[in-house]
Structure formats: structure tokens, C-alpha cells
Amino acid sequence: MSPSSAAATPGDHEGGSSEELHALILKSLDDDQAVDVIDIPLSGKTQIADHMIIASGRSTRQVASMAQKLAEKIKSDLGRGVRIEGLPAADWVLIDADDVIVHLFRPEVRSFYNLEKMWAFDKTPAAAATA
């Protein structure tokens, strides 16, 4: 499929299925000892991707290393290129692999932006409203 195809939908890309990509990303993050990995299914919520994965590293060095290894693994194993943003600072690195979007954070930055809550995936119950 050409990159200029406007009719592309998640799961339609060459280089392995969306499920293979998803499994590869989760395994790579596990191998690199990512912390607090959350997998948010996006099917039915948006067409931007099938999954969003949010994880933390203990330092900027670990976040950068996980991002670089993940991009290399996706390229070598599935033949897919990815787009990476935020690598120089490595406080928050976004990896766009089309079917799966990965956010890698330092813990402090992750708690500030709280993407889990934005995507209604906060595991803590909402506080009861007081009258």
C-alpha cells in the first residue's frame, strides 16, 4: 500500500498485521522493563489507531533507549517505519506506528499529562460529587 493512499485504515499496512505489531510492541516494552504499561483499545473510539500504549521509564535515558529499540525492532521484524517525536529531551516520546500509538514518559511527566484519564481509562473511580 502506498503512503499516499487516503483510504488506508488501521490494520491495512504492509509489514505484519495490527495484532503482530501490537504484540511486538508489548513484548519489547516488557523486555526493556517499562513501568506501568497500559494498553488502551481505540477501536470504536477513533480511527487514528487500533491501540494506544502508555508506559513509563525510570529516566530520560531509559525512555530514549526504549523508544530507539522499539523503532528498530518494528523496522527489522515487520519492515515498517515509524515516526518518533520528543526523542532529544526524552521526557515524553511519541512513537506513531500507524496501527499502534505509543507514549513513553518519565513518571513525573506522565502524571502531569494523565493521558489515561483523557482517554477515559483512569482505573480509579471518580470522586463522588458533593452537593
Which has more confidence, 81 or 4? 81
CATH number of 18-120: 3.30.460.10
Q: What is the pLDDT of residues 22-80, one digit of tens each?
A: 999 999 999 999 999 999 998 888 889 999 999 999 999 999 999 999 999 999 999 99
Q: Look at residue 2 and give its three-state secondary structure.
A: coil
For 74, the grid coordinates are 518494528
At residue 119, the pLDDT reads 74
Q: What is the pLDDT of residues 91-105, one digit of tens each?
A: 999 999 999 999 999
90: pLDDT strictly greater than 90: yes
Side by side, which strands form the sheet with 92-96? 35-41, 51-56, 100-105, 92-96, 83-85
pTM (2 decimals)?
0.80
- Calpha distance 68→39 (Å, rounded): 20
- Calpha distance 100→81 (Å, rounded): 12
Q: Can you give the residue ranges of every domain in the chain?
A: 18-120
125: pLDDT strictly greater than 70: no
Half-sphere exposure of 107 (CA within 13 A, CB side): 6
At residue 29, the pLDDT reads 98
